Structure 1
Amino acid sequence: MRIALFVTCLADTLFPEAAKATVRLLERLGHEVVFPVEQTCCGQMHVNTGYQPEALPLVRNYVSTFAGYDVIVAPSGSCVGSIRHQHPAVAAAAGQAGLAARAHDVGARTYELSELLVDVLGVEDVGACFPHRVTYHPTCHSLRMIRVGDKPLRLLRHVRGLELIELPDAEQCCGFGGTFALKNAETSAAMLADKMTAVESTGAPICTAGDASCLMHIGGGLRRAGSPVRTLHLAEILAAT
């Protein structure tokens, strides 16, 4: 299968290993991964902070860049949620019904990594080997907006050597929420403290998730606290051999 990679801003600028691991994994499974160079930010930050008109050119660019691909993958439930739900809404609000319809069509072909593997490619055992204890944090957008359910857990359970340890109160938000962490810093910090306590209580040296943004938030808090626990994107574990 020919799969287009939407790299996302965070992976492109701060966490490139998550994107590289996505490519390695899919190529190992026998698929061709292409990277359309015209891609830009999906516009989620603009929409979430009230700048919908400024997001419209980004929506238009995403649609034109990826319209020719049958399958698009992104290593981020957050960005996939924005593409599926916000893009058509932004276009519709601007009175561009045609663009809204095209955005809906392209968004329906855009998948978060675990969705792509389980629902589209029909695979749960990706041939990974990662001999470590790991706990999994289900990010809010993946859990509540695009509803990936237990797909990441099913993939992790098939990784050879991996001991998956349940995260207490896993469905609680880590407190990042994009600009929420800036506008509501004290609340965000309190939520992060609860999440860090839960992660450390598992005794797992690694916390994984499908969104680099949440891992950045949790990992930053753990490092500042001097914790030995590190964070690692789900794609990096699934790409390990």
Structure 2
Amino acid sequence: MNDTATIPTLSGESSFEAYVARPAGSPKAAILVIQEIFGVNPGIRAKCDKWAEAGYLAVAPDLFWRMEPNIQLDPDVEEEFNRALSLFGKYDPDDGVKDIEATIHWIRREAGVPKVGCVGYCLGGKLAYMAATRTDVDASVGYYGVMIDQMLHEAKAIAHPLMLHIPTADHFVSAEAQKAMHGGLDSHPKVTLHDYEGLDHGFATESGQRRDEAGAQLADSRTAEFFARHLLQQG
């Protein structure tokens, strides 16, 4: 079952919508799905639906609500891809991580699910990293996160498990940036990095031209195991 929730901001002065996919029974934990630059589009909703099928409450907040609420763009359409890049250029990720924190509060307090993980893609991968450094989310996963190399000084604040999926041929994240990420994070006891040789940005999208089936399945299986270990197991 899926529906839409209204989530208050941390200040309580405004609110934003989120797509919510609910499992058939009581959720075993919650997964907060963080959008790419294309909004909460069919691909992001499909990821939520998959988590719900696996027994999790899945929530995807509309993080572009301050600019264009409920926007949904197709990365395989050039005009829409360019529009998404324009929105990304105007977006303040500090607002994003605050909205993620507000969503975590809503999941725990209103939905009544105490254990919360987050998984993000592209911009969402960066925000998943920021959530690991700035919130008390229980576990975080980032796919092809951008600009993480510029935020490595925040890594000392990571208190809960974080996993990052890094395609080595990512045309948005240079080889130098990837090297910096490994240099800054490989030794961190809470962080796991996985490289995907020869794959490009967006390889784990649910559908479309960017998807690499083998790479997506491998990364997604690692993510599922990661959340099962850190959200479901005791101790």
Query: Does the alignment reach a TM-score above 0.5?
Result: no
- Which of the five TM-score ranges fits, normalised by the shorter chain? 0.3 to 0.5
- The structure richer in helix per residue is 1
TM-score, normalization by structure 1? 0.34
Tell me which protein shows more strand as a share of its residues. 2
